[in-house]
Structure 1
Amino acid sequence: MRSQGQVRFIRISSRSQKIAAGVAVCVLGAWCASVGALALSQVSTGTAQAALAGREAKVARAEHSVEQYRENIDTVASDLARRQKFIEQMVDAHISDLPESTEAAQPEAADETGAKVKKISALMPEAGALARIEAAQIAMVDRLTRYADTRSRAASDAIRSLGLNPNAIRTSARTAEGGPLVKLVTSGDGSVDPRFRRMGQSLARMGALENGLASIPQVSPAHVAYVSSSYGYRSDPFTGSAAFHAGLDFPGPMGSPIYAAAKGRVTFVGQKSGYGNCVEVSHGNGLMTRYGHLSGFRAHVGQKVDAGALIAAMGSTGRSTGSHLHFEVRVNDRPVNPRPFLEAAQTAQSNLQNNNQPQKERS
């Protein structure tokens, strides 16, 4: 260091340099910490503001819902009455009696509905009763939807066990429809609540599948102890040569009652070559049953019959060696073996009835 013509030397030791560097680092660290704390404070403030805004939005929505109840309490009551009528119509049309045991609603939906009822009851006690009625209706709709879906699955499984396609049966059930338009409106603005629409669709699907199952041959056409001739190849009773037998032969006394194997519509009453006096019953979905060698008729063309309904009397008309019933099951006019068909249908019906019984009856 030069000063007034003199040169002086200043020495800084390593220890002093380290101390100075440490001080500088501390100062810099303190500055960074203060900047970070400021930034963190700003982020926290923004998060708190966002949370506050979210709470305010929820409160606003709750207040809006309550305000709707307050301003339109008469409309809400009218909507609830329409909804109740809708539920009663669906139950009467598809179930007759309310199920005693069905699955509970989804917890999320129940929590949401319960929270709404609490808010409305707390902020506007006079609307609390309506809110509780609405919640009960929604819970019932959910239960009925689940109940119908359970029965639909059982019917589908039963139909599938018979080798038939449940979707084809359900589709064919809608080949002929009509009638005046009667809208099922469940709110004052003319819209249908999607939960109610879903319930209606589930009940309609259940009805179509169960009606289709009921149309499958499932009742023995004659009350006899045994079958004298089975389905398939046999020795012809007249020629003795190998021949194909397209049904089952039920032997019995002349005039024994003959019953419809399933519900359907009588499509033929008269004589057919080889069958003699014959009755045919169409059950839909391509299914038809044929009853041959009859001595008399107890039904007419176009008549709707239930499973087990009396349709004819046993005889020995046509190509026959004695009093018996020749019974055929045909799918799309192709003969199939009736024996496993009837056995499987009876088992499927038994399983379906067990599945449809209330839980406490089966326990």
Structure 2
Amino acid sequence: MKSTSAGALAKRLKAAFPDRELIVRSQGQVRFIRFSSGMQKAASGVAVSLVGAWCVSMGAMALSQFSASTEQAALATREAKVADAASKVAKYRDNLDGTVADLARRQQFIEKMIDAHIGELPEETETPAAPPTPASKLSAALPEASKLQQIKSSQLALVDRLTRYADHRATLASDTIRKLGLNPAPMMARARSKVAEGGPLERLATGADGSLDPRFRRLGLSLARMDALENGLASIPQVQPAHVAYVSSSYGYRSDPFNGSAAFHAGLDFPGPMGSPIYAAAKGKVSFVGQRQGYGNCIEISHGNGLMTRYGHLSAFGVRVGQDVDGGTRIAAMGSTGRSTGPHLHFEVRVNNRPMNPRPFLEAARNVQQEAR
């Protein structure tokens, strides 16, 4: 079978390349040039080889050019990706720096509010970890962003808890003031008034543009409301003005000690040894030191919002007009001046110059103030 195929191929080649003769006439002479079948086959082979080599060379050149073009395109793509990645990293780092700065400002706001209004945090309220400074950041990596987000979430959770804590204390103080028959609204109005205020500006902000996060602003307002109401409550009589065992005469109806007729007693009488210390029932400013008819030597302390306490029948003064005092400050000595049958303190509580029973103030205010604190 193979020999038959080879023979057929040989016949085809012989038919394609028969022996040929070329007749050439030159200068009257005739020459015969013979091209045998083998010579034609060899020449054809050489020609085919040359053409093949040329094709291979051209193909290699084309392939080389294509490869170089592909590599250049790939290199350009890689360079573009690197540039884009570098831009993203730089942008991310800038955002990270901004986030760290914002967290630091938020932390400063929280710390200032705690120091100014609360002092020590309730046990269930914890301060979040302080944000890292730019010098402590290692790189602009995703895990760092996650940690910063956790710090931000912790700060916002703390702000929310502090706001609720301040609102709770403000509600306790407001309820106490109402139980004593007083209106807390004037205390709030006084806190919002802009009379006699000043000082250098120390702006509080949570954003680089000076803005304040609404949640932080809400915290500040809640703490200011708490302070106003608790200061108002602290100005309500709640300290026993004399350390004595009992009250000799209560507020209201009684028989006059001099003539026995029906009379109205506008305060409480605390009997004790001559010269016993007398204390301010609440914080305030001394508004009067001197003598008043029926009271003898007398001291009056203004506590704001129309509230005033009066201390009568004193034997000595320990304060001056305009002096600020705290609840429990020693202001005088017990005596028996004025319309008095013996050493005692006559104590009054007045609201807008209208006498009120001091007993509820001394009993209820002290207990609820302790609960609020």
Counterpart in the other structure of 2:172: 154
Post-superposition Cα deviations, 1:244-294, rounded to whole Å, max 9, x if no partner, equal 211111111110000111111111111111111111111112111000010
Name the SS for the 2:172 alignment partner. helix
Say which of 151, 155, 159 aligns to 1:133: 151
Q: Work out the CA distance in 2 between the residues paired with 1:201 and 1:217.
A: 27
Say which of 243, 264, 285 aligns to 1:244: 264
Q: Does 1:323 align with 2:346?
A: no
**Percent identity over paired residues:** 71
Q: Work out the CA distance in 2 between the residues paired with 1:276 and 1:69.
A: 78
The 5 A counterparts of 1:21-100 are: 70-100=93-123
Q: Work out the CA distance in 1 between the residues paired with 2:294 and 2:282.
A: 24
Is this contact kept in 2: 1:69–1:127, CA < 8 A? Answer: no
Say which of 199, 214, 220 aligns to 2:234: 214
Name the SS for the 1:185 alignment partner. coil
Counterpart residue type for residue 85 of structure 1? Q
Q: Work out the CA distance in 2 between the residues paired with 1:174 and 1:276.
A: 38
Is this contact kept in 1: 2:125–2:158, CA < 8 A? Answer: no
Moved more, 289-298 or 123-132: 123-132
Counterpart residue type for residue 181 of structure 2? G
**Structure 1 residues without counterparts, runs of 5 or longer:** 1-65, 104-121, 354-363
Say which of 299, 302, 323 aligns to 1:279: 299
Say which of 178, 198, 206 aligns to 2:197: 178
Question: CA, structure 1 residues 67+162, in 2 after alignment: closer, same or farther (shift >3 Å)?
Answer: farther
Counterpart residue type for residue 74 of structure 1? D
Counterpart in the other structure of 1:341: 361
Deviation for aligned residue 1:231 = 1.4
Post-superposition Cα deviations, 1:134-165, rounded to whole Å, max 9, x if no partner, equal 22211111111111111112212222211222
Is this contact kept in 1: 2:287–2:321, CA < 8 A? Answer: yes
Q: Work out the CA distance in 2 between the residues paired with 1:69 and 1:97.
A: 37
Q: Work out the CA distance in 2 between the residues paired with 1:271 and 1:68.
A: 77
Counterpart residue type for residue 234 of structure 2? A
Question: CA, structure 1 residues 312+140, in 2 after alignment: closer, same or farther (shift >3 Å)?
Answer: same
Deviation for aligned residue 1:173 = 3.1
**Structure 2 residues without counterparts, runs of 5 or longer:** 1-88, 127-139
Name the SS for the 2:313 alignment partner. strand
Q: Work out the CA distance in 2 between the residues paired with 1:124 and 1:177.
A: 51
Question: CA, structure 1 residues 157+263, in 2 after alignment: closer, same or farther (shift >3 Å)?
Answer: same
The 5 A counterparts of 1:261-280 are: 261-280=281-300
Q: Work out the CA distance in 2 between the residues paired with 1:160 and 1:78.
A: 44
Deviation for aligned residue 1:318 = 1.1
Counterpart residue type for residue 158 of structure 2? M
TM-score, normalising length: structure 1: 0.70
Is this contact kept in 2: 1:276–1:319, CA < 8 A? Answer: yes
Say which of 142, 148, 154 aligns to 1:124: 142
CA RMSD, Structure 1 to Structure 2 (Å): 2.3
Q: Which has the larger radius of gyration?
A: 2
Q: Work out the CA distance in 2 between the residues paired with 1:232 and 1:262.
A: 22
Counterpart in the other structure of 2:324: 304
Is this contact kept in 2: 1:232–1:244, CA < 8 A? Answer: yes
Q: Work out the CA distance in 2 between the residues paired with 1:271 and 1:345.
A: 29
Aligned length: 272
Q: Work out the CA distance in 2 between the residues paired with 1:350 and 1:327.
A: 23
Name the SS for the 1:196 alignment partner. helix
Q: Work out the CA distance in 2 between the residues paired with 1:269 and 1:125.
A: 69
